């Protein structure tokens, strides 16, 4: 079943929750804290309105190796405009709901979660949830780069609707989820009197932070994902050039080939004062749909380094195994300059095995290889405001005439969240 509501409904729900909490806490004193927006608390109850505005500008210069023609793009766009609520009814039940407009598209939901905590260390979550991937689990508000690259496109799942269990220790965690598609997807309806099963996704992740000191944090993690498409279309492994923007051009893809797949992924990160390193890699074994060829293996990953010349450090949470909001040492609200982060990233996606395992090989195919280098600069006037600039030099090396692309890409972002 899918839930389709407007953001107005979400706002109304938030007002109702706020009123309910106010009545429940009538006989007690309320406190208000400022966390980008007011947060009202009373004992073990709290309520907060949340949201974000991400505005982008994207410029691309694309060269092709054949007669298809070169092209340029230039677009100013609303990457995300979200509004939502979060809160806690008591020490055992919490909630979060946030949605909005994405990339000029229809209104949709991201986080829609009911969390039940049987104990301090355990959580059972119901809703639209991410399960695995270090950069995937890190909010877009806090990722070092403007986009997660091909790894975010198909190396790991984004928000999926289902149930997720978590156990968290002081520097480790175990997470498992059983999910279907996104809450924003329409129901799978093949036709009357026909099988209509959505995808099944089973994911597990374990992380460990063996070193957690004031200056050094080390993160290692591994995850496993099983997917079965059910009666949905075959899984396609399609990526972009380190941007959420597209003008309809497909730079590299396998097309729809996957009936099922099994993914093993590893994560690693090291923070040393203002320096940090982070990387992830996924090996995806695909069970091909149909009889066009044998089963291929897809490989995708990234690595990057970053440095804060203003002295900050990336804010790693060893309990959750995620990165959180950075703490700016000298924000402009205190008379300072703010914080600056410099970063360099390498991305790759290897789809060639999807072509090599075909019984009959066509003259052209976009199941090739993508590589990209991205230079990033982030400026934080405060911890809740960020300006970003990314420059990417990417290349798609595909099969046959007029299938290769060289992309020079410059992106800018203005961001505020609360």
The 10s digit of each residue's pLDDT in 261-292 is 999 999 999 999 999 999 999 999 999 999 99
Tokens standing for 162? 């289902």
Contact 188, 198 (CB under 8 A): yes
Contact 135, 152 (CB under 8 A): yes
The whole-model pTM stands at 0.90
pLDDT of residue 28: 57
The 10s digit of each residue's pLDDT in 21-66 is 444 444 457 898 888 888 999 988 999 999 999 999 999 999 998 7
Tokens standing for 333? 């609200």
| Residue 241, CA atoms < 13 Å, CB-side half-sphere | 28
Least confident among 15-24, 103-112, 378-387: 15-24
Cβ neighbours of 231 (radius 10 Å):
14
The 10s digit of each residue's pLDDT in 335-349 is 999 999 999 999 999
Strands 107-116 and 200-212, by their bridges, are unpaired
Question: Is residue 24 within a helix (H) or strand (E), and if so which, with residue range?
Answer: helix 7-24
DSSP at 274:
T
Contact 130, 98 (CB under 8 A): no
β-sheet bridge partners, residue 84:
50, 98
CA-to-CA distance for 372 and 26, rounded, in angstroms? 57
Q: Which of 16, 4, 7 is nearest to 97 (CA)?
A: 7
Contact 344, 374 (CB under 8 A): yes
């Amino acid at each position: 079943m899918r839930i389709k509501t407007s953001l107005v409904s979400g706002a109304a729900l938030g007002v109702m929750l706020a009123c309910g909490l106010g009545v429940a806490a009538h006989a007690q004193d309320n406190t208000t804290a400022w966390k980008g927006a007011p947060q009202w608390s009373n004992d073990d109850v709290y309520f907060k309105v949340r949201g974000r505005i991400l505005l982008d500008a994207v410029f691309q210069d694309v060269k092709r190796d054949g007669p298809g023609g070169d092209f340029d793009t230039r677009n100013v766009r609303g990457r995300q405009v979200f509004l939502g609520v979060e809160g806690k009814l008591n020490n055992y039940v919490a909630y979060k709901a946030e949605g909005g407009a994405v990339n000029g598209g229809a209104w949709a939901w991201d986080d829609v979660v009911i969390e039940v905590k049987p104990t301090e260390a355990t959580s059972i979550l119901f809703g639209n949830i991410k399960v695995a991937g270090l950069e995937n689990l890190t909010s877009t508000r806090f990722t070092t780069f403007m986009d997660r690259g091909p790894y975010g496109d198909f190396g790991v799942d984004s928000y999926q609707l289902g149930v997720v269990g978590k156990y968290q220790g002081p520097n480790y965690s175990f997470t498992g989820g059983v999910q279907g598609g996104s809450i924003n997807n329409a129901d799978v309806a093949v036709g009357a009197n026909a099988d209509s099963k959505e995808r099944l996704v089973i994911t597990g992740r374990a992380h460990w932070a063996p070193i957690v000191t004031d200056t050094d944090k080390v993160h290692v993690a591994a995850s496993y994902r099983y997917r079965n498409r059910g009666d949905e279309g075959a899984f396609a492994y399609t990526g972009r050039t380190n941007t959420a923007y597209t003008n309809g051009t497909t730079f590299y893809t396998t097309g729809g080939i996957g009936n099922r797949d099994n993914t093993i992924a590893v994560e690693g990160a090291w923070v040393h004062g203002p320096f940090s390193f982070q990387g992830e890699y996924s090996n995806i074994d695909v069970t091909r749909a149909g009889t066009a060829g044998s089963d291929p293996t897809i490989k995708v990953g990234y690595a990057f380094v970053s440095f804060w010349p203003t002295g900050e450090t990336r804010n790693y949470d060893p309990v959750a195994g995620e990165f959180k909001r950075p703490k700016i040492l000298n924000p402009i609200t205190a008379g300072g300059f703010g914080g600056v982060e410099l970063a360099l990233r390498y991305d790759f996606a290897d789809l060639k095995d999807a072509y090599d395992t075909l019984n009959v090989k066509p003259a052209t195919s976009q199941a090739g290889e993508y590589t990209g280098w991205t230079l990033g600069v982030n400026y934080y006037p405060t911890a809740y405001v960020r300006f970003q600039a990314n420059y990417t030099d990417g290349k798609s090396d595909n099969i046959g005439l007029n299938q290769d692309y060289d992309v020079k890409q410059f992106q800018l972002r203005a961001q505020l969240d609360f």
